[in-house]
Amino acid sequence: MSLAREAKKIQARKQEVGKLKRKSARQLEKEQSILRRSSSGLALVERKIESAKEQLSDVSDVLTQKLAQQESIQRLIAAAEERLQHERDAKDQAEQEIEYAETGEEKENAKIRLDSIIDRIEEISSEIKERNKMAKKVTAAIEEFSKSRSKISTKIQKKAHEKPDLKKLISKSKKASARLAKSVASKEKQEESAKEHFKKVKAKLEELKTKRRKSSAKRSSKKRKVAKKSKRKSKAKRKTAKKARRR
C-alpha cells in the first residue's frame, strides 16, 4: 500500500473514530443527566418520606392524647351518671318521706333534703351535658386525626414504592455511564493513536516528496550540464571547420 493511500485510510479511520467518540459522549451525557435527575428524585422522595414520617409521628402523638382524653371523659361521664342515679334514688326516697311524714318537722326536713338533692341532680346533669359536648368535640378530632394519619401513611407507602424504581434507574445509569466513559476514553486513545500515525505517515510523505524533488533537480541539472557540454562541443567543431576553410 502506498503512503498516500495509507494516509487517506488513516484519516478516514480517524474521522470514523471521532464520530463514534462524539456519539458515545452524547450518550454518556444523556445517561449522566438521567443519573443526576434520578439521584435528585430519590433524595427528594427520601426527604418527603422523612417529612411525612415526622408529620405521622406528630399526628399519632396528638391522636394518642385525644384517645386518652376521650377515655378519661367517658370515665367521668360514667361516674357522673352513677352519681346522678344515686341522687335520683335519694330524690325518690325524700319524696316518699315527705308523703309519709308523721310530723311537720319530719316533713320540713325531708323537703330541705329534697331541695338539696334536686340542686345536686341539676349540677350533675349539667356536668354530664358539658362532658358529652366535650366528648363529641374530642370524637370529631379523633376522626379528623385518624383520617390525617391514614392519608399520611398512604402517602409514605406511595413514596416508598417509588424508591425501588428510582434505585434501579440509578443503578442502570451508573453502569451505562461507566461503560460509555470507558468507550469514550478508548475512542480518544484510538483517535490520538490515529493522529500520531497520520503525522508519521505524513512526515514520511513529505520526506519522500523532498527526496523526489531533489532527485528531479539532480536529473534536471545533469541534463542541463550535458546539453551545455554538447553545445560547447558543437561550437568548437564549427570553429575548427571555419579555420580549415580559411586555409
**pLDDT for position 192:** 82
- What are the CA-CA distances from residue 238 to residues 150, 224, 231, 243 (Å)? 128, 21, 11, 9
| pLDDT band at residue 22 under the 50/70/90 scheme | confident
Report, as an integer, the average pLDDT of 15-43.
87
Q: Are 176 and 33 in contact, with CB atoms under 8 Å apart? A: no
DSSP 8-state assignment for residue 3: H
- The contacts of residue 20 (CB under 8 Å, 6+ apart) are 187
Q: What is the pLDDT of residue 186?
A: 86
Estimate to the nearest angstrom the gap between the alpha carbon of 166 and the chain centroid.
7
C-alpha cell at 166: 428510582
- Please give the pLDDT value at position 129: 96
Cα–Cα distance for residue pair 223/206, rounded to 1 Å: 25
pLDDT top residue among 213 and 241: 213
Instruction: Confirm if 163 and 171 have CB atoms less than 8 A apart.
Output: no
Confidence of residue 245 (pLDDT cuts 50, 70, 90): low
* Contact (Cβ atoms closer than 8 angstroms) between residue 35 and residue 171: no
Tens of pLDDT, residue by residue over 45-58, are: 999 999 999 999 99
**Percent of the chain clearing pLDDT 70 (strictly above):** 85
- Is the pLDDT at 13 greater than 80? The verdict is no
User: Is the pLDDT confidence value at 213 over 60?
Assistant: yes
**pLDDT, tens digit, 9 for 90 and up, residues 98-134:** 988 888 898 999 999 999 999 999 999 999 999 999 9
Cell of 64: 394518642
pLDDT of residue 92: 94
Q: pLDDT for 158-211, tens place per residue?
A: 989 988 988 898 898 989 889 888 888 888 888 788 778 777 777 777 777 787
Cα 23 to Cα 178, 235, 239: the distances in Å are: 15, 75, 81
Distance (Å) of CA 151 to CA 41, 49, 52, 154, 179: 22, 13, 10, 5, 43
Residue with cell 374530642: 138
Average per-residue pLDDT for the chain: 85
